[in-house]
Structure 1
Amino acid sequence: MAATIEVNKQSVKQLLETGKKQKFVIPEYQRSYAWTDEQIQILFDDLVEYTENDNENTYFLGTIVAYENDQGEQEIIDGQQRITSLFLLLRAFYTKLESMVETPESKNFKSQIETALWEQDELTAVVDYKKTLIVSRVMGDEGNKIFTNILTTGRANPKAKDNYSINYNLFLELIETYAASQPEQFYYLIRNVLSRAILLPITADSQDTALTIFSTLNDRGLALSDADIFKAKMYNHKDKAARIQFIEDWQHLDEEANNANESIQTLFYYYMFYLRALDGDRKTTTPGLRKYYSRNNFEKLYKDDVMDKLNAILNLWILINNRIEIEGEEWYKNIEIKQVMDSLTSYPNEYWKYPVVTYYLKYRKENNFEVDFLNFLKKLFAILAARYIVTPTLNAVKGGILNLNTEVIKSSNPKFEFAKIDEQELKDKIKKAHRNTVRMILKVLAYQHQDNLLPEKWEIEHILPQKWQSNYFSSSTDEEVKELVEHIGNKVPFEKKLNITASNGYFKKKQESYNKSHIKLIIELSRNNNEWGLDKIHERDVRTADEIFQLFSEWGLNQINVNEKGKNLIVIPDESLNKYHEYIEIFDLEDNNENRKDFLNKINPK
């Protein structure tokens, strides 16, 4: 069924009066009222300028996107800042009019404003000042009560620091000043705000449609996130006693996520892949976040452990992104785990994150977690890195990752369903590494020499500089040198500050800077070489490719898996068919008898 949308240009008065039949609601998931005094000043100045120019055209204030919720209210998706400010402005006008000697003009405009701000008796038009036509339900915001109190009483604490009070008091001040200096224009200003300032309300048939419209129209970078919707759903599902704690927990999660360069939105995204793995979902099509969680009336958000799981995921990213230890996460003291994780962060897309999160959530409380997690990370890195080096596309790993997620749920030593990598092809691709894989390769290479993490700020150093004198290599063409300069054999990780000092000098000139480095790989390279030329690049190309392939093989590339019963799962390639035959070896892992050795030598010769 196609979505329906109503768009009707209306004056401020016409729009606000619709609140008599369908009250305006600022929903829980919206952000707090955030307009500053500067924005209030600009709005007021624009309206004054429009009035004093005696402009016959209308003044456009913008759009309001809303939909009718289950309670028959107008739930505002976009325009909450604007419509809230207009309510405050009209209340300030009304307060000023009340203080003036009554005239036909003041009486007229008081009457018009009353119909826009409060409920009235249908027969007598008597105003009920306690029943406003708008209510804010923003989660955990004390300003909700302040806003209602201002509209009800017309007063705000002059020393208050909230935006409602500050902006309302500013409106009072601006109106008072304008009415005193321009008494004849004052009533025209009120008229223009009520009748000539135009809004474009867009009314959608559902929340989804309204959010889609908002995302399309919004260009201020403040679009509602799916997490805002989830927050409101979770908040409303809790009893009143639990809501206060939930607000505190959510705010803490939000702050800590930002500190870790993540967001609650991304935490929900990672959590989705864990939930999909639990459900055995191997589909390569990733559903939209809100679409996924809204299934069965958002039931997945109402589980008791959702916040615990989100906090656990956040802890993982605090460890990875901020490199700080967290109480209770003793495994993070393992330098090998840190190094593999740091290498993974340079993997060219984020698909590696999903099985890591899934594995961590599933097994983090197990006794053997540290050992098992390290082995898992090594194998994951070896397989993903090798596949991307050979085929630098997302599709090279996408299907395998979704399968792996589900396999992780089954076993702490999961089955990796990825095609075999050809040794020579991988080595050739390492030598001429794609630009997206260079940092990843250099990291894992450096960590075979390093007993700590690399500095956070380092750059790719070209040992032979990218700019050289043409006569420096008389036996090679510029094209040949240019190609070799970009080979992996000519690149090392190097601290940014030292790299600036080293500049584009030749090897001997740069050795002094190299020797100041804290990266052992570059120190060893400096101490073991007196000069650097094209032959050295060729040599290091071969050595690096061999070292990386050997390391990946040790970590699990093209190697056997271990099934849940503790037996070896042997994967035997059939080169003619480019397929794999799987056999379950009958010998125990700890069994070193001659029969086992003969069997292994036959099917997996060195």
Structure 2
Amino acid sequence: MAATNFNTKNDTYRKLMGNGLTYRIPPFQRDYSWTEAEWEDLWLDILGTLEPDGEPAHYMGYLVLQSQDDKTFDVIDGQQRLTTLSLIVLATLKHLQRLIEAAIEPERTKQRLEQLRQTYVGYLDPVTLVPRAKLTLNRNNDNYYQTYLIPLVDRLPQRGFRASEHSLRKAFSWFDKRLGEYLRKSGETDQGRVLAQFVDQMSDKLFFTVITVTDELNAYRVFETLNARGVRLSSTDLLKNYLFSVLHRRQQHEHELKTLEDRWESMVGRLGSESFPDFLRVHWNSRHSFVRQAELFKTIRSRVTTREQVFNLLREMDEDIDTYLGLSEPELSAWSREAKDAAGYLRMFSVRQPFPLLLAARRQFSEADFETLLRAGVVFSFRYNVIGSQPPSEQERVYNQVAQRLSKGEFANLAAVLGALTSIYLADEPFRAAFADKTIRTTQSRNRRLVRYLLCQIERHVNGPTYDFDSDRFNLEHVLPQNPEVGWEAFSDDEAEAMVYRLGNMTLCETKLNRDLSNADYSRKREGYQRSNFLLTQKIAVENADWTPERVAARQSWMAKQATAIWRIPQLSG
């Protein structure tokens, strides 16, 4: 990002609102949505700076602005905070207006009101002599703000307005009431001075980190950078603003804008704004050339420039959203039990690379072929990611290339798709070798679930019964305990540390039996294993008179052979 397109500095609220600067919420930015919880947090923060021993300043976070002239700014992120601070100032002006109407030092109070209004709310344009507000809200909220709140009308109307407009009214009234309480607690007779001092101190002690960019692309890059650093901003809103601006600048009819807004909000509501960028990237990569998240906005901005392209993008997203939600939250889908289980396994593996291909397959294939590919995706991921620990970057590109070809109709059937994925199918020999040497630390709950799943699949393969690996009827048993006591002299300290989380050292054990055995020595554990209903666990007792590093390795090699037969795609295994 060029330095000339990006500027950052810290500014107080007073500096932000001074020097003839104006701020505009983009027409299609989200509506005002703060509630009493946020109002109260902000109010308490402000009061905390006004107390004699209070904090000297309060940090309000990032404010992302877009401007070409450094005089008029579009508020990309921070509109809720700026709008609420404006409402606090307006509530203060309302109290000053009441003092004037009550003839309490009317001249001095009027001077204070006008000075505060000019500084923080609006000013007289020196060229046109037309009053101008310093803050303009979005298309759904600005009329109420400019018509009723800025003029400080006596009775704010309540009927026939949007929910967000009611939120503006309620916020104004809430701060109006808090300011009344603040005045009473102050005990001061010169209330006009107290109110003016309140705004001045608040304005000097609240400060922002202000990031100013010159266009939407730089704004998006700022969002990506801040998100990478843990500051949660909404690139979803930025993309929405761009798409709406495509229609707006082409002067489309209001009903088209309303249709677009309704469809957009429906999708975001189903996904959640934090999940939306990931969905959009998966959707895009299922149809187009591979693009990384950091380049997604730039790519869409260059490819979606007309009214037809905007609505086509929404139509295609509508087509894919159910599949994406099924993969992300399988239990909420209407899929078959087998498909839900397969999607659940991918989620447990923390593997998302197959998603673009699966979206393409859902569009192109029958339900049966889609489910077959979904189950194959579990095998690919188990071999390549879980056991092989192969780098996912190349895998992601292969999935994208195959998804793109499938979307273009280049594959005649499912077998052709599987054949195109050969390069990311870890072959039998390297898979067996990787499995035989695999260590999975079960100190994390995700890893415990993974090993339980793995062992249940092997138990099913060698013995027949199917077990719910999340069942509380059995536990994960470490033959060599995680905290060994006496009776484990066959393992040196280094060997114990290296072997305890080897797959060959783990098995399944009924909950009570697992609890009874705990850290017992192997001879006692062996007696207990003979009583277990799990064949895997019985085999340990039958085949191992003692438990040593060599026996762990031998058992894991046997398990690797079973795994190669379980997680297998015949046409790719030869």
Match of 1:430 among 435, 439, 455: 435
Q: Calculate the TM-score normalised by the size of structure 1.
A: 0.69
Q: What code does the residue aligned with 1:356 have?
A: L
Deviations 1:255-305 (A, max 9, x none): 4335xx9722221121121132xxxx368x665332232224556994445
Distance 1:333 1:218 in 2: 36
Higher helix share: 2
Query: Does the Cα contact within 8 Å between 1:92 and 1:171 map onto a contact in 2?
Result: yes
1:241 corresponds to? 255
Query: Does the Cα contact within 8 Å between 2:440 and 2:501 map onto a contact in 1?
Result: no
Pairing 1:465–2:464 present: no
Query: Does the Cα contact within 8 Å between 1:158 and 1:166 map onto a contact in 2?
Result: no
Distance 2:510 2:301 in 1: 47
State the Cα distance separating 1:418 from its structure 2 match. 0.7
In 2 relative to 1, CA 461–407 (structure 1 residues): closer, same or farther, beyond 3 Å? farther
User: Which segments of 5 or more consecutive residues in structure 1 lack a partner in the other structure?
Assistant: 516-522, 560-606
Q: What code does the residue aligned with 1:34 have?
A: W
Q: How does 1:127-526 map to 2 (within 5 A)?
A: 132-137=133-138, 146-148=144-146, 149-154=148-153, 155-156=155-156, 162-179=166-183, 181-184=187-190, 186-187=192-193, 189-191=195-197, 193-194=199-200, 197-198=203-204, 203-210=212-219, 212=221, 223-236=232-245, 237=247, 239-244=253-258, 246-258=260-272, 263-276=275-288, 281=289, 287-296=294-303, 302-307=309-314, 309-324=316-331, 326-327=333-334, 332-333=335-336, 335=338, 337-347=339-349, 349-360=351-362, 362-363=363-364, 366=365, 368-370=366-368, 372-388=369-385, 389-390=387-388, 392-395=390-393, 397-409=395-407, 410-411=410-411, 412=414, 413-414=416-417, 415-418=420-423, 423-435=428-440, 439=451, 441-442=454-455, 444-445=457-458, 448=461, 449=464, 454-455=469-470, 460-469=476-485, 471=487, 483-492=498-507, 503-504=518-519, 506-509=525-528, 515=533, 523-526=534-537
Query: Does the Cα contact within 8 Å between 1:355 and 1:404 map onto a contact in 2?
Result: yes
Match of 1:550 among 541, 552, 565: 565
Q: What code does the residue aligned with 1:197 have?
A: S
Deviations 1:2-42 (A, max 9, x none): 434567887756643566x7453355334634262313422
Query: Does the Cα contact within 8 Å between 2:279 and 2:324 map onto a contact in 1?
Result: no
Q: What code does the residue aligned with 1:385 have?
A: F
Query: Does the Cα contact within 8 Å between 1:34 and 1:81 map onto a contact in 2?
Result: yes
In 2 relative to 1, CA 401–297 (structure 1 residues): closer, same or farther, beyond 3 Å? closer
State the Cα distance separating 1:459 from its structure 2 match. 6.7
State the Cα distance separating 1:213 from its structure 2 match. 5.0
3-state DSSP of counterpart to 2:51: helix
State the Cα distance separating 1:225 from its structure 2 match. 2.2
Q: Calculate the TM-score normalised by the size of structure 2.
A: 0.73
Pairing 1:98–2:97 present: yes
3-state DSSP of counterpart to 1:90: helix
| Cα RMSD after superposing both structures | 4.7
Distance 2:135 2:180 in 1: 25
**Count of residue pairs the alignment pairs up:** 523
Q: What code does the residue aligned with 1:112 have?
A: Q
State the Cα distance separating 1:549 from its structure 2 match. 1.9
Distance 2:566 2:134 in 1: 69
Distance 1:340 1:83 in 2: 46
Distance 2:13 2:565 in 1: 72
State the Cα distance separating 1:175 from its structure 2 match. 3.2
Q: What code does the residue aligned with 1:85 have?
A: T
With 395-404 and 76-85 compared, the bigger mean Cα shift is at: 395-404
